[in-house]
Amino acid sequence: MEQDSNSEDDSVGPAEDDAQPPFPLGLSDSEAVEVLWQVRTQRRQTEPDLPDTVTRLTTPEGSIVYLVGTAHFSDSSKKDVSTTIRAVQPDVVVVELCQYRVSMLKMDEKTLLKEAKDINLEKVQQAIKQNGVMSGLMQILLLKVSAHITEQLGMAPGGEFREAFKEAGKVPFCKFHLGDRPIPVTFKRAIAALSLWQKARLAWGLCFLSDPISKEDVEKCKQKDLLEQTMSEMIGEFPALHRTIVAERDIYLTHTLRQAASCVEAPPNAEKVPAVVVGVVGMGHVPGIERNWDKELNIHEIMSVAPPSRFAWVVRNVLKGAMWGLLGYACFRASKGVGRALLSFPTVQSLLENIQKPSV
């Protein structure tokens, strides 16, 4: 199951110093394509001087992948990404995002900062509707970790991905791929890997996250991504959770990077030539991608989600009923009007209907 979708921003034009040279008049489409291809080839550096955060990987066909390890809350990571893309003029840029998080590429920093801090009831309901109760709550708790870092630093996450998107739009013929596993699959597999007691302990730790973070801490995390380091410290006693959130995604990212590194067709004769790829991932994923690079990978295994057991189904519905019942009672005691408003929610009405149905 592939999730690496293409996405090019027509609104992003080249920077002034990257402006295309004027074309001779009267060129055919095929001739214009060939000229653009030659322009990019001339700009591409064969022995680029790249930041220390870049790892170079190769394929048997001769394709090159420049893997940029980043910290998700770092201005210097944004510079590393732009420097690399401008130097190597890639055929493909792959980022550690899936289609469920692609909206951050189009939002400005101010909007993202507001979104990250504003975790409201609507977001909770949307997460639960999309991923189920337990996985949805896990997503909200992880958003809380990200929001905590955002609030501490005053910096929105994903700046390196937006930088990659912008720079890819300036490179002729460059494709933009989403390389991460869909987040609902990750959350559902993570939840399935935990016992009920482990879920409660993890939720407790995430709810009471409050340690201060400085910008210096972020830059120290160039050896390991800050968000993933924060999570690793909290889930260190849950190896199964670390496997689903980090190790399995290392495998998936390796898979999408190798796919992106397939040979490309060069004009004018559509000759197959090795590709140049830039991958932008959290620094915590770089060692795993290196380890997996030459291995045979089983993607289907890490994309499957086992159905919940009968016991888990009963526990989930009991907890769900108790949660809504307590919330409804509290609202009723506070105000009869608020209580009536709560009872008008479709979720509550559906729950009451299920309770009232006679058992078969």
| Average pLDDT of the residues in 17-40 | 76
Q: Is the pLDDT of residue 97 over 90?
A: yes
Measured at the CA of 71, the angle between CA 275 and CA 155, to 5 degrees, comes to 125
C-alpha–C-alpha distance, residues 81 and 50, integer Å: 10
Whether 25 has a pLDDT exceeding 70, the answer reads no
Mean pLDDT of all residues in the chain?
Answer: 76
Query: Phi/psi class of residue 62: alpha, beta or left (left: φ > 0; alpha: ψ in -120 to 50)?
Result: left
Higher pLDDT, 46 or 242: 46
Say yes or no to pLDDT of 343 above 70: no
Q: Which long-range contacts does 99-102 make (Cβ < 8 Å, 24+ apart)? A: 99/3, 99/5, 99/178, 99/182, 100/130, 100/182, 100/183, 100/184, 101/158, 101/180, 101/183, 102/7, 102/178
Q: φ and ψ at 335, to 5 degrees?
A: -165, 130
Q: Write down the pLDDT at residue 43.
A: 95
Compute the average pLDDT of residues 84-98: 97
pLDDT at 1: 40
Q: Give the mean model confidence (pLDDT) for residues 287-316.
A: 82
Say if CB 194 and CB 204 are below 8 A apart: no
Listed by start position, the domains of the chain span 41-306, 312-352
Return the minimum-mean-pLDDT range out of 128-132, 146-150, 223-227: 223-227
pLDDT of residue 240: 76
Give the residue, 173 or 232, on which the prediction is more confident: 173
- CB-CB contact of 275 with 264 (8 Å): yes
- C-alpha dihedral sign at 102, 105, 110, 113: positive
The percentage of the chain sitting over the pLDDT mark of 70, rounded to a whole number, equals 55
Q: What is the pLDDT of residue 16?
A: 42
Residue 250 has pLDDT above 90, yes or no: yes
For residues 292-296, average pLDDT: 97
Cut 0.85: pTM above it: no
Q: Does the pLDDT value for residue 76 go beyond 70?
A: yes
Token pair 């009267």 is at which residue? 26
- Confirm if 281 and 253 have CB atoms less than 8 A apart: yes
Task: Give pLDDT, residue 71.
Answer: 83
Q: Is 100 exposed, middle or buried (0-12, 13-18, 19+ CB in 10 A)?
A: middle
Is residue 95 within 8 Å of 165, Cβ to Cβ?
A: yes
| The one-letter amino acid at 123 | K
pLDDT interval class at 167 (50, 70, 90): very high
Specify the pLDDT at position 178.
97
53, 66 contact by CB (below 8 A)? no
Q: Out of 194-198, 303-307, 309-313, which region has the weakest mean confidence (pLDDT)?
A: 309-313
- Amino acid in position 280: V
238 touches 248 (CB < 8 A): no
CA distance 120 to 140: 10
Q: What amino acid occupies position 42?
A: Q
Pick 193 or 7 by higher pLDDT. 193
Could you tell me the pLDDT band of residue 5, with boundaries at 50, 70 and 90?
very low
Q: Amino acid letter at 10?
A: D
Helix H, strand E, coil C: the string for the chain is CCCCCECCCCCCCCCHHHCCCCCCCCCCHHHHHHHHHHHHHHHCCCCCCCCCCEEEEECCCCCEEEEEEECCCCHHHHHHHHHHHHHHCCCEEEECCCHHHHHHHCCCHHHHHHHHHCCCHHHHHHHHHHHCHHHHHHHHHHHHHHHHHHHHHCCCCCHHHHHHHHHHCCCCCCEEEECCCCHHHHHHHHHHCCCHHHHHHHHHHHHCCCCCCCHHHHHHHHHCCHHHHHHHHHHCCCHHHHHHHHHHHHHHHHHHHHHHCCCEEECCCCEEECCEEEEEEEHHHHHHHHHHCCCCCCHHHHHCCCCCCHHHHHHHHHHHHHHHHHHHHHHHHHCHHHHHHHHCCHHHHHHHHHHHCCCC
